[in-house]
Structure 1
Amino acid sequence: MSLSPLRLAPFVLLFALLLWVAFDRVTDQRDDARRERDSAQWEVNGLREAARITGEMLAERDAIDQRNTKELNDALTENKRLRRAVGNGTGRLYVRANCPAAGSVPATTGTARVADAGRAELAADARPDYFTLRDQLALSRQMILGLQQYVRGVCRRSPAHQDTTFSNLNKRTTP
């Protein structure tokens, strides 16, 4: 019993069709795997870039913090030195003041005039308050400078800031 070519043809055709379907399926799987690989590589590159930018921003933030902390410590050290000098008498705390000219003050009867005794100076009980104010001023100044530098150097570089636009704040959306 031999098979005639006419009876063998449908089997060969069926086998070729199955082979073609299997090959097509493998090709589709390969293409899907390549797309997933490319997508994963694109995502990895994006994450690396985000990590690099974040690292730079953190380094800049730390540099700003160190610089302003050093400047603040220097100012506070100078204030302590001045406070000690005024406290032990090696330095004096003068007040810049102007006295009106002699002709501009109305003279009333019975008022005695005092001769110019020299420079005006803060009272002893007001001196600590002066140095406390200097310390607070130095602290406030460094905080403001640090925040300004942080906004200029770090916040403006962040991806969230680049995507934010304020042009649509006044627009009304209708539901």
Structure 2
Amino acid sequence: MRDALFLLLICLSVWVGYDRIAGQRDQARSERDAALFEATGLREAARISGEMLADRDAIDLKRTLELDHERASNLERRRAVDDGRQRLRVKATCSAAGAEKASAGGVADASTAELATDARPDYFTLRDQLALSQKMILGLQDYVHQVCLR
């Protein structure tokens, strides 16, 4: 009887030990699965983030190149006006009252209206600022449509 009780006690301790080890194994598997799921999610988030950054950089490069081109074109116009190769003409019309005064006073100036010399730098500064604002707005619109709404 003593041997049977001893054998029963050994079997019971083996069974409790196995049950405990199986529980630890199941817990380790569930922790491993959760970690793998989280790692997969983080990889996907990193991939999407990388694509979004690449799209943002492409938009920025495109709009920056366009802005550089416009600024270079504006600078070339400025140099041409300063050198006298081109003129800055103003689209203007004279009212009928102004025409009567000119003809009444003597010889009317028949040349095309032109921007005053001291106003030219302001004109080109405004063109640069307009180009910058336009490219910034277009770039932000592209960013919203291509990156944020994705």
Question: What TM-score comes out, normalization by structure 2 length?
Answer: 0.88
Deviation, structure 1 residue 118: 3.4
Q: Distance in 1 between matches of 2:80 and 2:105?
A: 36
Identity %: 60
Whether 2:85 is the aligned partner of 1:123: answer no
The gaps in structure 1 that reach 5 residues or longer are: 1-5, 158-175
Which residue identity lines up with residue 93 of structure 2 in the other structure?
N
Q: Distance in 1 between matches of 2:107 and 2:140?
A: 50
Q: Distance in 2 between matches of 1:39 and 1:50?
A: 16
SS state at 2:124 partner: helix
Whether 2:82 is the aligned partner of 1:53: answer no
Structure 1 residues 19, 125: CA separation in 2 closer, same or farther (over 3 Å shift)? same
Give runs of ≥4 in structure 1 deviating > 4 Å: none
**Partner residue in 2 for 1:98:** 93
Among candidates 110, 121, 132, match of residue 139 of structure 1: 132
Matches within 5 A, 1:8-157: 8-100=3-95, 102=96, 105=97, 112=105, 115=108, 117-157=110-150
Q: Distance in 1 between matches of 2:31 and 2:110?
A: 89
Q: Distance in 2 between matches of 1:75 and 1:21?
A: 80
C-alpha RMSD of matched pairs (Å): 2.1
* Cα deviation code 1:116-171 (max 9, x no counterpart): 613211111111111111111111111222222223333334xxxxxxxxxxxxxx
SS state at 1:20 partner: helix
Q: Distance in 2 between matches of 1:36 and 1:126?
A: 73
Which residue identity lines up with residue 42 of structure 1 in the other structure?
F
The gaps in structure 2 that reach 5 residues or longer are: none
How many residue pairs are counted as aligned between the two chains?
148
Q: Distance in 1 between matches of 2:136 and 2:93?
A: 33
Query: Higher helix proportion, which one?
Result: 2
* Cα deviation code 1:33-75 (max 9, x no counterpart): 1101101100110110111011111101111111111011000
Q: Distance in 1 between matches of 2:14 and 2:122?
A: 94
